[in-house]
Amino acid sequence: MIQAIVYTSNTGSTGQYARLLGQETGLPVCSLTEAKKALNEGTQIIYLGWVMAGGIQGYADAARLYRIPMVCAVGMEPAGKEQELREKNGIPQDAAMYVLQGGYSPDRLRGIQKLMMRMITGSMAKKLAAKADRTPEEDDLLELMQHGGSRVSPEKLAAPIRWCRENLGGAGHE
Ligand SMILES: Cc1cc2nc3c(=O)[nH]c(=O)nc-3n(C[C@H](O)[C@H](O)[C@H](O)COP(=O)(O)O)c2cc1C
């Protein structure tokens, strides 16, 4: 039985999604650091991690310690790269996987991370700005990369919440 929601967040958006999912499911929520002190190895958990250069932060560590039937990757981009992220991070095919759009908080980044994101968003924004037939999603991504902001919303958790309803079962988890 799934016992907890565990997350790794850098600027807060993954933590927000984890807490929203906790409110919906009634499961306790904690960071991976806290989980390492509180949860036994082999415990079944839901894992949420922020994406850095395609890597779901903390996932490899969490997967070594716990059983993870569902993973959420929180990045800057809207959903669409599930398969790529699954392969790159070695998430087994029998685990559910969702991509959630977090945001971009340049003011909360420091050092190498700030520099990396300046480079990533700079080149991506340049390409997008030059594109004539941008979709509304691409317009919004361009705006996010140019000005920063949060795209966290409870609506984006609809699919993970549905998965929880179908897979948690048991009193107190509905
Ligand atoms: C150094 C760095 C690299 C990143 N690389 C990616 C990436 O490859 N793909 C992506 O979608 N988002 C990427 N992001 C954006 C973060 O995943 C996004 O801001 C996310 O919402 C952060 O979650 P958090 O607020 O929980 O830390 C990157 C951010 C930083 C700082």
CATH entry 3.30.70 includes domain 1-102+151-174:
no
Mean pLDDT value of segment 151-163? 97
pLDDT at 173 over 50: no
By the 8 A CB rule, do 102 and 150 touch?
A: yes
Mutate which of 5, 10, 19, 140 for ligand 1 pocket (most atoms within 8 A of beta carbon): 10
The ligand 1 site (C-beta within 6 Å) comprises: 9-14, 50-54, 74-77, 102-104, 109, 113, 116-117, 120
pLDDT single digits (tens) 48-77: 999 999 999 999 999 999 999 999 999 999
What is the domain partition of the chain in residue ranges? 1-102+151-174, 105-149
Count CB atoms within 10 A of the CB of residue 18.
Answer: 26
